[in-house]
A = this chain, B = another copy of it.
Amino acid sequence: MRIVLSGAAGFIGSHLCDRLLAEGHDIVGLDNFITGSKENIAHLAANPHFRLIEHDVSKTIEVSGKVDAVMHFASPASPNPDSPYGYPQLPIQTLKAGALGTHNLLGVAKASGARFLLASTSEIYGDPLEHPQKETYWGHVDPVGPRSVYDEAKRFAEAMTMAYYRYHNLDTKIIRIFNTYGPRMRLDDGRVVPNFIGQALRGEPLTVYGDGSQTRSFCYVDDLVDGIYRLLFSNEHDPVNIGNPAEISIREFAERISAMFQPPSPITVHIERRGSGDPQRRQPDITRAQTVLGWSPKVPLDEGLARTVRYFQTKIPKQRS
């Protein structure tokens, strides 16, 4: 298949490129590099099946030639207000990637009669009042809160995708991605995995915000990509959660990472929770993914973390091992 993939140079997008190329597909990648990184796709430069167009998806684009699938993965995605790559620093770009970007790429898919896959997010559940979150849960999002630039953009993107399915008979799919980690995350994107590993590698204490009892569920990126790939070739049109339901408290997570280093990194606790609207808990119900895609996560946390640490070790001057 010939696949248009936006956000091809991003953390998830670049892993998706590797998998799609390995499966024999051709990729037209789009990225404007405001959060994506040229380094993530440098190894594909000479691949004749990969072509990169530097393009902002919020502006219209026509892709020449036949297109079989369009996958929209372009968006800032870190909620951290202190990171230059967090969506609070890129609010208008985030809103535009979600709404105008989705509209433009649905147009590309419609013009070619191609299937369309939207990368949505567990953030559409907001600060959820139900645990774990099923796809039928409507979510709990503040439309005018500081995180709404991302959450509402993705909710809008889902609504528009479903409208193209219902009214233009486009073959659309929606994946709701929960916390994912792995190589090619940005060390400074402000999310907890690169934060902790970066601190440990620099010999600094791991900083836990809040009392550490808030939980997360971490999915290794290869597992996620496998779920995306299965969804792309499925007949599902309703949203599907992909994530790892294994819940872990941030405190315990810090301890697991600390224990990977010798000597173990100390952990410091900052009682004040960081970032307004940071959810206390979020965990996918993956019954649908298991049932309709035959998917479940395979990579254990310790193995995924070990691979991720090895990646970050190449990025940080080696101070300890």
Contact = CB atoms under 8 A, between A and B. Distances in A.
Contacts of A146: 166
Given A138-B142, A142-B138, A144-B162, A156 B124 contact: no
Contacts of A160: 92, 95, 99, 149
Interface in A74-115: 91-92, 95-96, 98-100, 103
Contact of A138 (B100, B141, B174): B141
Contact of A95 (B92, B95, B142, B159): B159
Question: Which of A99, A124, A149 is most buried by chain B, counting CB atoms within 10 A of its CB?
Answer: A99
Nearest to A146: B166
Contacts of A144: 158-159, 162, 174, 238-239
8 contacts: A91-B163, A91-B167, A92-B160, A92-B163, A95-B160, A99-B103, A144-B238, A149-B159
Contacts of A126: 138
Chain A interface size, as a band, is: 35 or more
B162 A156 contact: no
Question: Which of A143, A158, A167, A239 is most buried by chain B, counting CB atoms within 10 A of its CB?
Answer: A143
A140 interface: yes
A56 interface: no
Contacts of A151: 159
Contacts of A167: 91-92
B143 A153 contact: no
Contacts of A251: none
A131 B100 CA distance: 34
A146 B165 CA distance: 12
A321 B142 CA distance: 48
A167 B88 CA distance: 10
A110 to B, nearest CB: 10
Interface string A122-164: 0010100000000000111111101011011101101110111
A240 to B, nearest CB: 12
